[in-house]
Structure 1
Amino acid sequence: MDRFAVEVITQTPNPQQTIYAAMHQDYAEEFVTRERDRWPDESRCGELVIKNLLKGGRGHYGPLEHPQIVLNCGWFPHSTMQQIRTHRVGVSFDVQCLAGDTEVTFVHASGGLRKIKIAELYDLWTNGEQASRERKIRGCKGEPPGTYRRDCKTRLKKMRLRVLNEETDIFELGHIQDVMCSGLQPVYRLTLADGKTLDCTTNHRLYTSQGWQRMGDALGLIADADNQVLAVTKTCELMTNGVVRPDALYSQEPWLKAQVNQGLTAKQIAEQCGCSVEVIRHWAKQFQLKLPSGRWRGLKTVAGNGLYRDKAWLQAQLAQGLYVDDIAALAGCSMFWAAKPTPTGRKLKAHPVQVVSVEYLGMQTTYDLEVEGSWHNFVANGVVVHNSFRYTGQRVVDVADDKLEVEEVFYLRPLGFYADRQGKKYEYTAEQRQQDIEWCLEACRRYKVRIEQGFAEEHARGLIPFDVRQHWVMSANVRSLMHLLDLRWKADAQLEAQKLCECIWPHFQTWVPAIAAWYEDNRLKKARLAP
């Protein structure tokens, strides 16, 4: 349990004053916000809430539901989240996510790139192709006549997603398993030194030069109750796709324009800069420059002086950067088809780029992907990010491959004496605990076999012990949080749920001190339902 952690992501400022205003409006004729300059301060409002609402026993507790707090809970067993979700009132749970305009990178068979906004990807995944179709008669699966969008999940699953091999730092290809909408979340924009931006939540995991880290942790992000950035306390480099020269000449408009005016193709400019052709095309588009196509089209060769048949001579002209018209004139022949050069086989590697600024963008609808295969990541706006934590497949495989310790992925109770609400008393010994560790390890190996046999993750995960460690985001209001504490901090509640409540309690005390003091005196661990 020593790894369990709860941290505040955001919270309503002046919550007791907010409750006071709502309570006051319930019984006042006037528009109470116009009296804001006459409101008591936060401390006095807390006293009035206790006196007139909680101590009064009036039974009208709606004002307690307005202030919200958002907590990040980490390294708890899955069963704990199941416990606290039972009989919950006004408590929401969520995982990592990206903003809707984040572009996901796919790779065509030709090597070209296609970028799709994750919100559009979710729309296609959920609703089908964007072009509407008309069904005149009932469909083969009983679908009624009418307008519809044809399902395209199979096509999307076959698209080649850019993923990173975390062992070699070379980009490879993967495929989508699922696309999810994660609801409204506070979103921040990270700006990198090379101009890239990424919009994500604080709990989204990013691949940094120090390995996988959650955005907020990687940057040491400090925000106020309104989510506005107060400070970034850590230097962070994110791993991005492509190869970039320090001088980044292609990002300088005069230099790039001069190369284009010389008639150089995107490939020739890219070779000068040591970057990909796609990067040059991107910056040329940014500066509204028209690049030469570099493609040689024309007729079959016609008799001339025959020089074009000399391979060494022809290669020498190509090396000088001559176009087909010039070579044809030297050879005394018409234009001809030239063979496409053989790719050099250069692999695209990840490289670190420093985050230079962080900006809060507000509440936005957010999304995430689940990626199948060995590498559970993808490229978003050119940055390597982790896929959803919804499935735990790769972590389990890593345990089977001895890359992770069992207890990094699974939770096992400490040694000691235990009792449950049915009166059972027992000792959990070191020998029994070691047996359970071996059981978890064997389950991981079995899971890996099933994945290698082609089983879906949601099928194979039935073999995994229930208490996989999970991180989640939980939001609640004052009333629902007291309800949760009543249910899960009583003496006979699940031990790990009690520990979660213990971790939440200091944040509750800091946030609403007067209400917390009243709750501690009247209800804490007494198994009463909160008002």
Structure 2
Amino acid sequence: MTDTPADDSKIELRSDVTVELVKSSATDSDVLFAARVSTAGEQSLDELKKDPERSKGLINYLMRDRHGSPFEHNSMTFFISAPIFVFREFMRHRVGWCLAGDTEITLESESGNLRRRTIAELYKLWHTGVEDRLPHSAGGVTWHSRAGKWMAQVRRGESNHYLGLYENREAAESAVAEFRELHPSTRLRRLESVRRNHVRCYDEETMLAQRARIVDVIQSGTKSLIKITTAAGKTLRCTVDHAVFTPEGWRKAGELAVGDAVMAAGTGPRPSEALVPPSLRRGIGVWTAMRRQELIKEVDTCHLCGHDFPREQLALDHVVPVARDLAQALDAKNLAPACEPCHAVKSAGEQALAQRGGKIAKAVPDRIVGIEDAGEEMTYDLSVEGPWHNFLANGIVVHNSYNEESGRYRELQPVFYTPDESRKLVQQGRPGKYVFVEGTAEQQELVSRSMEESYVEAYRTYQEMLAAGVAREVARAVLPVGLYSSMYATCNARSLMHFLGLRTQHELAKVPSFPQREIEMVGEKMEAEWARLMPLTYAAFNTNGRVAP
């Protein structure tokens, strides 16, 4: 890497946001067709020849009486460039793609073990953690070398309880378990949440199974759902806008029909590659051993079980097994400390993985045999780490709805946000009922100067780390949330109305909102594009107090 530390001239300061409508399929007629098909059936096609202006009353009725699903049969994709802190607000209002709460997400451990949790359960655990009742006691079973027997003892509170010597370990453990059962405790222990979990995902070119870290779990509001059933018996309940992977690529659930295929979890023949030659395996082992001192601290954490061990009890483990990806065998970033028991278990599993022949996990086509309405209920979504941004929902490959520029794969550019004179700086009032007022000239100067100085120093540090060979995904941690980033956001009219109701202030709004000004700037520009595409729907939204149906 030849990057050099930044100088002040490299920093660009902006006070605006960019919103571009890059593609759309959204008209007022979409709402009318969707509403009339429920009563007119195939005769609703006749409405294609009629002027939608005639039907503004129907659109207003649908909006007023909260008939929401007709407003979902359309799509808009926006390109947005804004400070990172604006996108954090976006992630709280996922616009469109959502799953039913009982949808089971496939999680995959480091060693390749799979298990399922519902997305509603993941949401709860993600935001609250896990509470587990354990006896408030320590101790257990140890070998008493002088007596040649197993000793059972328990410490409870301030007292030690000696339970005796036993000929075998099972008897000693039984004594400890009996004591703890007779002396229960109501102490609650907060366990680690699901924030280290990974999902099963798929390489969209090879269809082979991979792993991806969960970035966020989002509750997306009550929405209308459809139910897709496949020939293999898999079912998926999701909104019509949710992207589903098919043999032809990504398609919206609402565009699919009986007879189409979706990609689902399955197996295929393992490639007939030869095993890693013994000489190469020995070379990889020598190279790995030479990096023990460099990559394992004197006391370090096993990346598999999360416990701390001295260096002599740790080995360097290939996170992605050599048998799965030989290209990462000599990549130091693919090495992590693992305790001896965990390393032995994982290595045994990798040996099975390396065996010739057999089956390998991959996505396979599964034909749709049924599509039906599935009512309305609370919905959820995941954001998962790239490069594929997909996961398994009830065994069917689906996409997450939020794609932001990643500092893992490209060097981030030094464009930073600083408010101009029109940005009100002082907050007055209490949360939920406050206003912003103009700041003084001194406050404006302080904000501009302090931000610029902070940005210059942060970007200089970022460049220094890149020049020293530090990975981009590590170096980016020093950059502030005022850095500009880019993303694509796809939504339908109904979900956009939900977003605008919360993230814009308007004199016609029945329910007042107090958005951060910068997210409101994005919302205003999205609103202007939508108003041009669907003027009758937009007028009905305002007439009915800017409350989404």
Q: Same fold (TM over 0.5)?
A: no
More strand as a share of residues = 2
TM-score, scaled to structure 2: 0.43
Q: Highest CA radius of gyration, 1 or 2?
A: 1
